[in-house]
């Protein structure tokens, strides 16, 4: 390693307080940058995992979500008779006619009400969603006032635990099982027998028809046919597409917010780096003059100071990512404006985010260091040596 570089690193060590302050300023910025990316990523991940590509959802035309949708029984039967649905092991179609409604339930602890999705399921509903597993208890018996609750409901809502009862639709419903759906949106749902729920809510129509495609490529054909069928007023979407559309507004909001915050914050941090580097240059004029007198070129001086700034940025970046990685332990729950239902998702750290954050921190260091480095490099040897 050349002397100028060694000199730069040693300088960071010598001015420990300043280095620590500048790096921690940058670390905070990288932390915010990484955290917002992780949040958007976590939301995306939750939604992508919620749907599966080979499933098709049929909802009423131009209703954006299952909650707004209504599919009459006749129409649901027509969809059911289409040849695209796969056949299960028991010889029945892998198709579920479901009811989706929102209800208000009080949270544990605070008692604040939040909207929760109740899904009326058919016999195939669980088979259609391999990501959903029964973790505890049993499935509800058809024809009874029994429900199963998602893991995140059981934890956060009053009466959601196994053996407890929930009251809605003028009946008491016993929670007989808890299902685990990983980080998907289903974890924030309650499932019960569709016919019982239709009775309880006095809603004689289904909300959606979900089925597994016999042949994944056959989706376009199916979509075209049912959307042009004059008896039907429905539209079909792949399940993955459906869930992505659901949270478009939310992820856009998170992205814009994250972007705006990052820009503002990075301005602050860049100014901090600039101050530090200008001071580093000002304090070392004589030393720079000496290095130049010894024969080091302008380029070497420039490189040494830029390297110092980059290293400062990198240090901040690493610290920021280190703390941001702990955010993965936190789960955010908020209302999705498009479905009006409670949605829980966590921060997700990916390699891509780590990489982006590091590049970002280096860029911050570079921008902060480049002007002071030029000042250092452009100094005349004689002037530099003469100053005291």
Q: Which residue, 2 or 113, is less far from another protein as judged by CB?
A: 113
Q: Do the Cβ atoms of 57 and 208 come closer than 8 Å?
A: yes
Question: CA dist 79 to 65, 89, 127, 231, 351, Å?
Answer: 18, 21, 19, 10, 42
Contact between 202 and another protein per CB under 8 A: yes
Q: Which residue, 18 or 325, is less far from another protein as judged by CB?
A: 18
Contact between 283 and another protein per CB under 8 A: yes
Contact between 32 and another protein per CB under 8 A: yes
Min. distance of Cβ 381 from another protein in angstroms? 20
Q: Which residue, 236 or 274, is less far from another protein as judged by CB?
A: 274
- If DSSP states are collapsed to H, E and C, what string results for the chain? CCHHHHHHHHHHHHCHHHHHHHHHHHHHHHHHHHHHHHHHHHHHHHHHHHCCCCEEEEEECCCCCCCCCCECHHHHHHHHCCCCECECCCCCECEEEEEEEEEEEEECCCCCEEEEEEEEECCCHHHHCCCCEEEEECCCCCCCCEEEEEHHHHHHECCCCCCCEEEECCEEEEEEEEEECCCCHHHHEEEEEHHHHHHHHCCCCECEEEEEECCHHHHHHHHHHHHHCCCCCEEEEEHHHHHHHHCHHHHHHHHHHHHHHHHHHHHHHHHHHHHHHHHHHHHCHHHHHHHHHCCCCHHHHHHHHHHHHHHHHHHHHHHHHHHHHHHHHCEEEEEECCCCEEEEEECCCCHHHHHHHHHHHHHHHHHHHHHHHHHHHHCCHHHHHHCC
Min. distance of Cβ 79 from another protein in angstroms? 17
Q: Which residue, 94 or 157, is less far from another protein as judged by CB?
A: 157
Q: Do the Cβ atoms of 84 and 55 come closer than 8 Å?
A: no
Contact between 201 and another protein per CB under 8 A: yes
* Binding residue (CB under 8 A) for another protein from 126, 162, 244, 279: 279
Contact between 170 and another protein per CB under 8 A: yes
* Binding residue (CB under 8 A) for another protein from 95, 148, 176, 269: 269
Min. distance of Cβ 140 from another protein in angstroms? 19
Q: Which residue, 144 or 283, is less far from another protein as judged by CB?
A: 283
Contact between 151 and another protein per CB under 8 A: no
The gap between the terminal CA atoms of the chain, to the nearest Å, is: 29
Contact between 367 and another protein per CB under 8 A: no
Identify residues 234-263 at the interface with another protein (CB under 8 A).
257, 261
The site string for another protein over 320-349 (x = CB under 8 A, - otherwise) reads ------------xxxx-x--x-x-------
Q: Which residue, 94 or 379, is less far from another protein as judged by CB?
A: 379
Question: CA dist 365 to 73, 270, 302, 311, 358, Å?
Answer: 63, 7, 14, 8, 11
Q: Which residue, 1 or 231, is less far from another protein as judged by CB?
A: 231
Contact between 25 and another protein per CB under 8 A: yes
Stretch that binds another protein, among 76-84, 137-145, 158-166, 273-281 (CB under 8 A): 273-281
Stretch that binds another protein, among 1-9, 177-185, 215-223, 266-274 (CB under 8 A): 266-274
Q: Which residue, 184 or 266, is less far from another protein as judged by CB?
A: 266
Number of residues that bind another protein (CB under 8 A): 53
Min. distance of Cβ 315 from another protein in angstroms? 14
Q: Which residue, 216 or 387, is less far from another protein as judged by CB?
A: 387
Q: Which residues bind another protein (CB under 8 A)?
A: 17-18, 21-22, 24-25, 28-29, 32, 60-64, 67-68, 101-104, 112-115, 168-170, 201-202, 204, 233, 257, 261, 264-265, 267-269, 271-272, 274-276, 278-279, 283, 332-335, 337, 340, 342
């Amino acid at each position: 390693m050349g002397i100028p570089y060694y000199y730069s690193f040693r300088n960071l060590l010598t001015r420990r307080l300043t280095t620590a302050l500048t790096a921690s300023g940058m670390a905070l910025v990288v932390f915010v940058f990484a955290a917002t990316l992780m949040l958007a990523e976590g939301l995306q991940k939750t939604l992508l995992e919620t749907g599966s590509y080979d499933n098709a959802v049929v909802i009423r035309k131009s209703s954006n979500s299952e909650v707004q949708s209504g599919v009459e029984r006749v129409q649901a039967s027509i969809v059911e008779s289409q040849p695209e649905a796969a056949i299960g092991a028991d010889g029945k179609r892998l198709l579920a006619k479901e009811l989706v409604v929102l209800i208000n339930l009080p949270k544990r602890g605070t008692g604040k009400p939040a909207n929760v999705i109740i899904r009326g399921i058919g016999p195939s509903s669980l088979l259609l969603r391999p990501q959903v597993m029964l973790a505890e208890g049993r499935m509800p018996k058809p024809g009874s006032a029994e429900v199963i609750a998602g893991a995140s409901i059981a934890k956060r809502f009053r009466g959601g635990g196994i053996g407890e009862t929930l009251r809605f639709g003028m009946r008491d419903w016993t929670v007989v099982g808890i299902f685990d759906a990983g980080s998907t949106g289903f974890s924030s749902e309650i499932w019960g027998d569709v016919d019982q729920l239709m009775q309880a809510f006095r809603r004689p129509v289904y909300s959606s028809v979900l089925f597994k495609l016999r042949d994944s490529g056959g989706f376009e054909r199916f979509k075209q046919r049912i959307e042009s069928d004059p008896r039907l007023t429905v539209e079909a979407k792949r399940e993955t597409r459906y869930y992505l559309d659901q949270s478009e507004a939310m992820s856009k909001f998170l992205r814009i917010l994250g972007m705006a915050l990052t820009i503002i914050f990075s301005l602050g941090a860049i100014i901090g780096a600039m101050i530090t580097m200008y001071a580093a240059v000002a304090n070392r004029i004589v030393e720079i003059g000496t290095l130049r007198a010894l024969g080091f070129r302008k380029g070497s001086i420039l490189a040494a100071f830029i390297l110092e700034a980059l290293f400062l940025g990198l240090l901040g970046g690493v610290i920021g990512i280190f703390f941001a990685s702990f955010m993965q332990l936190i789960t955010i729950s908020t209302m999705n404006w498009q479905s009006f239902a409670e949605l829980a998702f966590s921060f997700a750290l990916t390699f891509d985010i780590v990489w982006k954050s590091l590049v970002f921190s280096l860029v911050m260091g570079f921008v902060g260091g480049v002007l002071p480095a030029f000042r250092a490099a452009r100094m005349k040897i004689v002037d530099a040596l003469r100053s005291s």
